[in-house]
């Protein structure tokens, strides 16, 4: 049974790697995910070999597992960090792989699952303990990165969507922590303390399931931050430097640009597009994203998400009392005005008006 599951896992990993290497438009996140699938394919494939890898390649396959944490972390970082670029510092993530590989090359390496009473086995206990530590550490780093990003969604987007919220990835990481680490702990207890409560290994099944989930959700996960071509030259930043990294905007400029923003929203009504975001608005106005965000915060005293949804609510209120839209349901009106979620619409409408949409429509 384990062999069949392992074969399925290898095929699934190769399939996922092929999908993300050929996915267009290309994005760095696809490369990290493809590399992650490649590690899984090689590791699971080693279980199918009729010989021990260390007999022909001293480091063996085990050091590759030290890539699982870093590659998942870099995948998440490339999605959630707007200005992400791979730097020299990022190569420090691969130091454990290099150190373990060099050490296993220098000593008489034995298979990682060899009998615990083998005198050459003592190093494997250390390797496995380090693997558990690195996997747990990278899980925490990755989850922290996602949560930090989610707090900034209202600064960039007007709606929470499957693409920008990354809720599915939090689920995957939780799955990883509970099942994946549990199985590795079982292996550690077996090789370090000779404790084994089951002879059936869940590792191939867990890896296969993990690859399937990442492929299933990852296919529809496009790049979150995508630069748009500027319709107008971006105006230069002005103002004197403050204690912050951003320049302070003169009061006169804030007032002038604030009026321009209001006029743009009232006349163009870009908020009717549920995909509308800060980058689109900055492109339309010919202002840098950072400057526009600062203008909204200073001039409107709110973030981008709240600003856009206030205009959407105003549009909904106007349509609800307009006889021309009498054949629309309340939810239909909400979708026409740029909302993409019933729960989000009801919550925001109640916050803005103190009434539910149905109550407002009855009293209008």
Sign of CA dihedral 305, 307, 313, 315: negative
Nearest Cα neighbor of 105 from 52, 57, 43, 42 is 57
Q: What is the pTM of this model?
A: 0.83
> Is residue 39 within 8 Å of 71, Cβ to Cβ?
yes
How far apart, in whole angstroms, are the C-alpha atoms of residue 358 and residue 364? 10
Largest CA distance in the chain: 85
Give the model's pLDDT for residue 177.
75
Give the model's pLDDT for residue 242.
41
Residues of the chain with pLDDT under 70: 1, 110, 112-121, 187-188, 190-201, 226-250
Residue written as token pair 């619409």: 345
Give the model confidence (pLDDT) of 50-107 as tens digits. 888 877 888 888 899 999 999 999 999 999 998 888 899 999 999 999 999 998 888 8
Q: Which structural domains are found in the chain, ordered by start?
A: 2-218 (1.20.1070.10), 251-363 (1.10.10.60)
User: What b-and-e string marks burial along 344-361, b requiring 16 or more CB atoms within 10 Å of the CB?
Assistant: ebbebbeebeeeebeebe
Helix (H, G, I), strand (E, B) or coil at 296: helix
Angle at CA of residue 245, ends 243 and 248, nearest 5°: 70
């Amino acid at each position: 049974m384990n062999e069949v599951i392992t074969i399925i896992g290898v095929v699934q990993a190769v399939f996922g790697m092929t999908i993300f290497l050929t996915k267009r438009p290309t994005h760095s996140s696809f490369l990290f995910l493809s590399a992650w699938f490649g590690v899984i394919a090689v590791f699971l494939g080693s279980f199918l070999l009729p010989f021990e890898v260390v007999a022909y390649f001293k480091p063996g396959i085990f050091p590759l597992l030290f890539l699982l944490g870093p590659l998942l972390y870099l995948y998440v970082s490339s999605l959630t960090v707007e200005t992400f670029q791979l730097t020299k510092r990022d190569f420090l993530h691969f130091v454990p792989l290099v150190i373990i590989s060099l050490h296993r090359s220098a000593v008489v390496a034995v298979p990682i699952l060899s009998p615990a009473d083998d005198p050459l086995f003592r190093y494997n206990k250390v390797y496995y303990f380090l693997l558990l530590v690195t996997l747990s550490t990278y899980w925490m780093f990755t989850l922290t990165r996602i949560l930090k990003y989610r707090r900034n969604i209202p600064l960039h987007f007007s709606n929470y969507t499957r693409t920008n919220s990354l809720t599915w990835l939090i689920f995957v990481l939780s799955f990883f922590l509970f099942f994946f680490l549990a199985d590795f702990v079982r292996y550690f207890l077996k090789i370090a303390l000779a404790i084994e409560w089951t002879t059936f290994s869940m590792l191939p099944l867990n890896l296969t399931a993990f690859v399937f989930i990442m492929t299933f959700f990852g296919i529809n996960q496009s790049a979150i931050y995508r630069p748009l071509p500027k319709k107008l030259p971006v105006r230069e930043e002005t103002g004197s430097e403050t204690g912050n990294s951003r320049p302070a905007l003169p009061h006169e400029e804030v007032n002038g640009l604030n009026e321009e923003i209001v006029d743009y929203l009232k006349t163009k009504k870009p908020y009717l597009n549920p995909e509308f975001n800060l980058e689109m608005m900055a492109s339309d106005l010919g202002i840098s994203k950072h400057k526009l965000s600062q203008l909204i915060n200073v001039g409107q005293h709110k973030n981008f998400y709240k600003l856009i949804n206030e205009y959407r609510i105003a549009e909904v209120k106007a349509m609800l009392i307009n006889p021309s839209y009498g054949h629309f349901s309340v939810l239909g009106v909400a979708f026409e005005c740029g909302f993409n979620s019933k729960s989000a619409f009801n919550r925001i409408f109640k916050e803005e008006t103190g009434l539910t949409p149905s109550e407002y429509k009855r009293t209008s």
